[in-house]
Amino acid sequence: MSKSIGLYLHIPFCKSKCPYCDFYSTRAGEYEYNDYVIALKEKLKYWSNHFNGTVKVKTVYIGGGTPSVLGAKRLCDILSSVKENFTLESNAEITVEVNPDSGKKLDFALMKSTGFNRLSIGMQSAVPAELKKLGRIHTAEDAKHTAELAQATGITNISLDLMTGIPLQTKETLKQSVDFCAQCGVTHISSYILKIEENTKFAQIESKLNLPCDDEQAELYLYTVELLEQYGYMQYEISNFAKKGFESRHNSSYWECGEYIGIGPSAHSFFNGKRFFYDRSIENFKANKIINDGEGGTAEEYIMLSLRLKKGLNTDKYIKRYGATLPLSFFKKADLYVKNGFMEHNGTSYSFTPKGFLVSNTILADLI
């Protein structure tokens, strides 16, 4: 029987580097784009031969970096190669990440006819001063325009990225951004808290950034959840919100410990209980240097990933997967968190409340 997997393809190019970002991407031109697409297609063939018909693909996610810098023709070329090499399930979710700057130039009609059915647009904020602070090279109007162009061709399953904790962001400016997203008529919103990552420009100037303090961050997070849910974007993961039925199937599979293959520099995979990845080098990727990352899908990992989801950890599913119940200490501690409003207990599931999500790392360290 063939397994259903997710396929992640990484596009390691951006037009310019945002000062907070530590994803693997470089600046490049037409020659490098073409060269990379050839390499990606070779690796699709490699993995297809490796699996030899034993897997089906249920979701494809082209992320980055900025996939949209490749333009519609190259993106369609990549997707056609996926289809030549793998069996796609008939209702496969096929997402591509789009920057509002290059996104508004894409031929969405071509992309729709090739099979793309979901977009994730990196907007971050609708407030010009915040976009400037983040070093973004587009306006909020670009994001709206991109969404409208896609919607007009029938690609209506669209996600917008938002960011909270931006320097000088207030509840008022956050509301402006959420209102703007809702007006765009999108189906999904990802809202991430700005994190200062090592080796980024922001890390070098952190003390001068005027970042909100922890309490302000917490307030902004809870306000985001409240506003988005008022608009009908229901929280289904710590940072993700969707209209009913539009939860990202690809990303949900990560949190459900589903299997996936990541192709491209810095792309990670989980298959047959093993984790492995390509490192952050296009040359090593071309040489197909795959690095083992040990066992995956352990009970601890399953608990941590499940609790990222709003539906939480189902104790019956846990027993089915691991052949044992959760330790008694888990229930004792979790029940205390329920009492204090950090968690909820419904039937056979434990899950975090929005207040619990805010301190989920600390609670998880205690629970596991």
Enumerate binding residues for ligand SF4 (CB under 6 A). 14, 17-18, 21, 23, 25, 64-66, 99, 122
Per-residue tokens: 299: 């009970």
Asked if the peptide bond before residue 64 counts as cis, ω within 30 degrees of 0, the response is: no
For the bound state, the minimum distance from the C-beta of residue 163 to ligand SF4, rounded and expressed in Å, comes to 10
- Amino acid identity for residue 52 in this structure: N
3-state secondary structure of 23: coil
Toward ligand SF4, which CB reaches closer, 33 or 331? Answer: 33
- Amino acid identity for residue 147 in this structure: A
Toward ligand SF4, which CB reaches closer, 55 or 211? Answer: 211
For the bound state, the minimum distance from the C-beta of residue 284 to ligand SF4, rounded and expressed in Å, comes to 20
Of the candidates 74, 97, 46, the one whose C-alpha atom is nearest the C-alpha of residue 286 is 46
For the bound state, the minimum distance from the C-beta of residue 15 to ligand SF4, rounded and expressed in Å, comes to 8
Per-residue tokens: 47: 């993995």
Toward ligand SF4, which CB reaches closer, 18 or 131? Answer: 18
Per-residue tokens: 106: 């894409």
3-state DSSP helix/strand/coil % of the chain, to nearest 5: 45, 25, 30
Toward ligand SF4, which CB reaches closer, 85 or 99? Answer: 99
Toward ligand SF4, which CB reaches closer, 14 or 111? Answer: 14
20 CB-contact burial (10 Å; exposed 0-12 / middle 13-18 / buried 19+): buried
Toward ligand SF4, which CB reaches closer, 129 or 319? Answer: 129
Give me the residue label for tokens 């010009």: 128
Toward ligand SF4, which CB reaches closer, 189 or 343? Answer: 189
Toward ligand SF4, which CB reaches closer, 167 or 354? Answer: 167
For the bound state, the minimum distance from the C-beta of residue 136 to ligand SF4, rounded and expressed in Å, comes to 7
Give me the residue label for tokens 């999108």: 186
SS (H, E, C) 269-297: EEECCEEEEECCCHHHHHCCCEEEEEECC
For the bound state, the minimum distance from the C-beta of residue 200 to ligand SF4, rounded and expressed in Å, comes to 9
- Amino acid identity for residue 131 in this structure: L
How many helices and strands (H and E) does the chain possess? 16, 15
For the bound state, the minimum distance from the C-beta of residue 10 to ligand SF4, rounded and expressed in Å, comes to 10
For the bound state, the minimum distance from the C-beta of residue 87 to ligand SF4, rounded and expressed in Å, comes to 30
For the bound state, the minimum distance from the C-beta of residue 348 to ligand SF4, rounded and expressed in Å, comes to 39
For the bound state, the minimum distance from the C-beta of residue 211 to ligand SF4, rounded and expressed in Å, comes to 17
DSSP E strand boundaries for 53-157: 55-64, 87-98, 118-124
Toward ligand SF4, which CB reaches closer, 14 or 150? Answer: 14
CA–CA separation, 164 vs 37, rounded Å?
Answer: 34
For the bound state, the minimum distance from the C-beta of residue 120 to ligand SF4, rounded and expressed in Å, comes to 11
Strand partners, 235: 241
CA–CA separation, 252 vs 261, rounded Å?
Answer: 15
Residue 246's H or E segment, with its range, is none
Strand partners, 60: 7, 94
CA–CA separation, 269 vs 201, rounded Å?
Answer: 29
Count of beta carbons in the 10 Å neighbourhood of residue 179: 12
Toward ligand SF4, which CB reaches closer, 64 or 165? Answer: 64
